[in-house]
Amino acid sequence: MPSSRTGPFQQQQKLVERYLHKKVWQYLDVGLYRTAQFTAERLLAFDSTNNDYRHVIALVHLRAGDIYTALNYARDTPHLGCLFVYGQCCLELKKYQMGIAALENGDYLYKDNNTMGKKGSMGIASPGQLDDDNLVLVRVVIPYTSMVLALLGTLYKAAGIEKSAIMTFALAIKLDPFCWEAVAGLCELQVEISVDKLYKDTAYILKPPEGQPDDDGEGLMEGRKKVVSKNFSSAILTLDDGKINDRDLSTTSPGFEKIEYMQGTGPETAEPQKSPGQYNNSTKIFSHQLPSHFSKETPGSPDLFVFPQQRSRGLNQSTKNLPYVSLHAIEKSPRSSSQLKANYQQASKTLAQLYSTLTTSYIHYCHYRCDECIAALHRLPAAQADTPWVAARLARMHFEKVEYPAACQWFVRLRQLQPYRIEDMEYYSTALWHLRDAPRLVYLASALVAQDRAAPQTWCSVGNALSLANDTEGAIRAFQRASALGDSGGRSGRTSAAAAYAHALEAHEHVTADAYERAQACYRRALHTDKRHYNAWYGLGVVFLRLGNSAMAKLHFATAHRINPANSVVTCCIGVVEEHLGELDRALTCYSAAIGKHPKSAISRYKRARLLIRLQRYPEAMRDLECLGELAPDEAAVHFLRGQILKMMNKRTEAVRELTVALTLDPKGAHLIKKALEDLTTFSDDE
C-alpha cells in the first residue's frame, strides 16, 4: 500500500499525471488521436503499473485503428475498461473465442457494475439528474454490465454460439432495454421479443429530481436547491487521497454555464480491482471510488485543478455552475411538483412507445414480414420516420417484396438523407439492375468508387453495372473483389453480410454462364458466411432445377421460403418444381400465392396461365393473359399463348391477330409461330 505521506516530488509528479490524464481524455474526445497517443505514452511512463493509464492508451490505439497495439496494452490487465477494449479488439480481428474467454474469465469485474436496470437510475448521475427539460450528459468511460454483456453477446453471435448469444443479449436488455446492440442481436437471431413486456414498466425511465416538495413557488425552488446542495459534494472532485476526476464535461445549453468535471485515478495496488457497483451510483464512472467531499481550493495546483470562477466562492455560491440544475430556470418556473411529475411520466411513455415501435418493426424486418414492418414504420412520428435507418428498412422491405420501383424511391430518399452512405447500396444497385436502369446504376457505381474503393458494397454495385452491360467476366471479377473485401473486413456484421451477398451475386453470374459447379461453390460460401442468406438457398434450388434434380431443388426452395416467405419469386419457383413433379394442384396454389404477394409479378401470372391452359381452364388463363398484356405488352410469348387459347375457344380471327403480333415482336421464333398459324389454317379448312 502506498504511504499516506508523500514528499514534494511525489506530490508534484501526481499533479503532472493528473493533468496529463485529463488532457488525454480531452484529445481523445475531439479525435486528436496522434496527440492523445503521444500524451498517453508520457502518462504511462510515469506509472507503468497504473491500469487506468493502460486503459486510456489502449482506448486511444483502438479508436485510431491500431487494433493490435490496443490488444497488447489491454491484454491480461485486471481492469474493466481494459477488458472491454480487449473484447472490442477481438471482435475487430475476428478472434471471437479469445474475446469470449477473456470476458467470461473477467466476469468478476463487471457482474455487479450496473445501474441501468435499477428504477430511477438508468446510469445517469444521481445529483438531481434533471432540470425541468434537460437531462444531464454523463460520459461513461467504464462500461456498465449491460454494455459488456452486449459485447459478449456479439462475440457469441459472430462465433456461431447462438444459444449463449441469446441468453447474453436477453440479460443485457433486461438491464438496459435501450441497448440496441442487444435488441438487434436478438432480432437477427430470430428471437420473438415480447415488446410490450420489455417497455411496459416505463415509470423508471425518466425520474424527477429527488426532494421535490408538494407546494409551488419558493418551496419548489428551495427543494431544488436542497437537491443541489445534497449532491454537490458527491458530484464534484477533491484531491483527497490522491484521487481526482479526469474529464471535462461541458454543458452549453441555455441556462447552463461551462464547468470542468474531471476524474482521476489515484494510486494503484496489487489487489484486484473492486467492482464499481460497490460505490454510490453517482460515482460509477471509473474503477476507483470518487471522493465524498469538495475542496473549494486545490493546494499546490492553483492553475490546473481549481474550478474557474470558484476559487474564492463558497459552496452555496458555486452551485450555479452545476450542469444538473439551472437556478435561473427554477426562479422563472414556479410550476407544481405534480405537473413536473406528469411531464416526466408522459416523456417516459413517449420514449417507451418510440422504442417499442422501432423494436417491433425490426422484429418483422428480420423475419421478412414485409407488410407488418412497413405498417409499423409508418406509425412512427414524422420526425422519426424521416431518418436514414427508417428509410433503409423501408427500402429493403419493398426490395424483398420485389417492388423495385418503390424500393428505389426509398433508396433515393436514403441517399438524400445520407449522401455518402455505403451500407445497403448493394441492394440499391440490384434494384436498378432489375429495372434495367443503366444510367442510374452506372452513376451509383461511379459515385461509390470515388467515395470508398475498399467497401464491398462499392464492388457489388460495379459488378451489377457490368452485368447489366452483359460483361459477365468483368462482373464476376468485381463480385470476387467485393467478397474478398467483406471476408477480410473487421466486425462480423455489415461487412460479412455484404460478403455473403457478393458471393451470391457472383454465383448468379456463373448460373447465367451455365457454370453450375462454380455457382454451387459460391452459393455455399455465401451460406458459410450467413446460413440464413435466402438468396443462396434460392440459387442452389435454381442450379438443381436446371440439372434436373427436382427433389433437391424443392428442398432448397422450401428452405429459402421459410427464411423469406414474402418473396414471390421463391414461391413461384416452388410452384415450378411442383409442376415438374406432377403436383399440378400444389403448383397452381403456389402460383396463386405468388400473385397474391406481388400482383404485378409477370412471371407468376405467366406460369399460372400456362398451367391453366394445361388444365383446360381457358377463361381463367385468358384473364391472366389479359393482365399480362398490360404488364408486358411487348412480350411475344404472351400474345402467342393468347392466340393458342383463342384457337381452342374457336375464335380464329382473334387467334390469327394475336399470333401475327407475336411473329412481329419475336422474329427469332418465327418457325414456331408460323407452325401455329399453319395449324390454325388447317383446322379452319377441316371445319
Please choose, from the candidates 388, 454, 450, the residue with its C-alpha nearest in 3D space to the C-alpha of residue 421. Answer: 388
CATH of domain 10-143: 1.25.40.10
Q: Which grid cell is 98? A: 479469445
pLDDT digits (tens, 9 = 90+) for 204-234: 677 666 554 444 434 333 433 333 333 333 3
Cβ atoms 124, 144 nearer than 8 A: no
Residue 67 has pLDDT above 60, yes or no: yes
pLDDT digits (tens, 9 = 90+) for 129-185: 334 344 566 777 899 999 999 999 999 999 999 999 999 999 999 999 999 999 999
CA 377 to chain centre: 16
pLDDT digits (tens, 9 = 90+) for 344-403: 888 888 899 999 999 999 999 999 999 999 999 999 999 999 999 999 999 999 999 989
What string of DSSP letters covers 198-211? HTT--TTTS-PPTT
Of 77-81, 133-137, 421-425, which range is least confident?
Answer: 133-137
**Confidence class of residue 676 from pLDDT cuts 50, 70 and 90?**
confident
Contacts of 191 (CB under 8 A, 6+ apart): 166, 169, 170
Predicted pLDDT at 552 = 95
Predicted pLDDT at 68 = 96
Predicted pLDDT at 465 = 97
Residue 437 has pLDDT above 50, yes or no: yes
CA 53 to chain centre: 32
Residue 556 has pLDDT above 90, yes or no: yes
Say which residue the cell 443541489 belongs to. Answer: 228
pLDDT > 70 in the chain, percent:
73
Say which residue the cell 448521475 belongs to. Answer: 125
What is the Cα Rg of the chain in Å?
33
Return residue ranges of the chain for CATH 1.25.40.10.
Answer: 10-143, 422-531
Can you give 493-552 as a three-state secondary structure string? Answer: CHHHHHHHHHHHHHHHHHHHCCCHHHHHHHHHHHHHHCCCCHHHHHHHHHHHHHCCCHHH
Predicted pLDDT at 260 = 36
Residue 328 has pLDDT above 50, yes or no: no
Amino acid at position 445, single letter = A
What string of DSSP letters covers 236-277? S---GGG--B-------STT-------B------SSPPPPGG
Q: What is the mean pLDDT of residues 546-560?
A: 94
Cα 259 to Cα 308: distance, rounded to the nearest angstrom = 8
Residue 678 has φ and ψ, to the nearest 5°, of: -65, -40
Q: Is 0.85 topped by the overall pTM?
A: no
CATH of domain 422-531: 1.25.40.10
Cα 400 to Cα 622: distance, rounded to the nearest angstrom = 29
Q: Which grid cell is 312? A: 474564492
